[in-house]
Amino acid sequence: MSKYYLTHLKELEAEAIFVLREVAAQFENPAILFSGGKDSIVVTHLARKAFAPAKIPFPLLHVDTGHNFPETIKFRDDLVKKLGARLLVGSVQESIDEGRVLEEKGRDASRNALQTTTLLDAIESNQLDCCIGGGRRDEEKARAKERFFSHRDDFGQWDPKNQRPELWNIFNGRYHRGEHFRAFPISNWTEMDVWQYIMLENIEIPSLYIAHERDVIWRDNTWIPNSEFITLRPGEEVVRKKIRFRTLGDITITGGLESDADTLPKIVAEVAAARQTERGNRADDKRSETAMEDRKRQGYF
């Protein structure tokens, strides 16, 4: 009799599928937070495997800043159509128009932080009791504090010092009316695990992750994509570079890196040799030492 064993990727896959099935069992109205980035794509892929041959039992919730990469929106719409999934969209522009949030002005203005209000409004209006995210512990120190099932109070706030214990794989999804949970099935994955899994499963990803020619601006030690939302500062110029992105967010704050990694094996090799953190090119994380934790406490992803 041959010995049975799982690779580390299959172990991680099994753990994530278990978490997704626990969400389906413990909550009445969950949704997958879908940004169009690689992590939410992998979570969606895992959800498809967890409930096959049925369709994914959760809608996808996208918080649209209005400053997205066009490639992200096209990928989102194509994937939703392919999966036959239901798409929920929370619009930051609508939040601004309704006076729910005030658009930032000035040199470093961004819509990234405004997403929190739009997200919490979408959770309330759709009566969601659990939002499944693609957050991973290795991304950023605030995300390292998250549990698989992470409680949010009735204001959508997160208290990292008051989380429910998770003993072995026993998750506590009890909540009071008005509260909700965030669930993170790939919390134990690393950036390398995600790329190796994408390659193993041949998962389709947006072209933004593949090295390509693009008009960019050198700003704050990273290559910011040129777009209609960017105003050139004195001394800046638009140049054409072969770049790719390690993370995807609002187009105004997502920095790219010069790269020749135009295939998945090359991306894996590049990530293995990288000496900069995955989110090192994100302007939103550079605002302060506790930028991510401050946003998460307020209800951010």
For 139-187, write each residue's pLDDT tens digit: 888 888 899 999 999 998 998 888 888 988 899 999 998 999 999 999 9
Q: Does position 89 have pLDDT exceeding 80, yes or no?
A: yes
Predicted TM-score (pTM) of the model is 0.92
What would the mean pLDDT of 60-64 be, rounded to a whole number?
96
Q: Does position 282 have pLDDT exceeding 70, yes or no?
A: no
CB 128 within 8 A of CB 61: yes
Question: Rounded to an integer, what distance in angstroms lies between the CA atom of residue 39 and that of residue 121?
Answer: 23
Percentage of the residues of the chain whose pLDDT score is greater than 90: 70
Question: Rounded to an integer, what distance in angstroms lies between the CA atom of residue 154 and that of residue 137?
Answer: 25
Burial class (CB in 10 A: 0-12, 13-18, 19+), 133: buried
Torsion of CA 265, 268, 270, 274, to 10 degrees: -170
CB 56 within 8 A of CB 47: yes
What is the model's pLDDT at position 145? Answer: 87
* SS3 (DSSP) at 43: helix
CB 284 within 8 A of CB 249: yes
Question: Rounded to an integer, what distance in angstroms lies between the CA atom of residue 292 and that of residue 301?
Answer: 9
pLDDT, one tens digit per residue, over 221-279 is: 899 999 998 889 899 999 999 999 999 888 988 899 999 999 999 999 999 998 887 76
What would the mean pLDDT of 114-122 be, rounded to a whole number?
93
DSSP state of 25: H
What would the mean pLDDT of 30-45 be, rounded to a whole number?
97
What is the model's pLDDT at position 123? Answer: 96
What is the model's pLDDT at position 280? Answer: 65
Helix (H) or strand (E) holding 150: strand 149-152
CATH superfamily of 8-194+289-298: HUPs (3.40.50.620)
Helix (H) or strand (E) holding 147: none
Percentage of the residues of the chain whose pLDDT score is greater than 70: 96
Confidence of residue 79 (pLDDT cuts 50, 70, 90): very high
Give the C-alpha distances (Å, rounded to integers) separating 160 from 8, 9, 120, 151: 28, 28, 18, 9
Name the least confident of 65-79, 110-124, 206-220: 110-124
Domain boundaries, the chain: 8-194+289-298, 204-286
What is the model's pLDDT at position 55? Answer: 95
What would the mean pLDDT of 116-142 be, rounded to a whole number?
93
- The better pLDDT of the pair 279, 217 is held by 217
> Sheet containing 149-152: which strands, arranged edge to edge?
87-91, 60-64, 30-33, 130-132, 180-183, 149-152
Question: Rounded to an integer, what distance in angstroms lies between the CA atom of residue 98 and that of residue 77?
Answer: 26
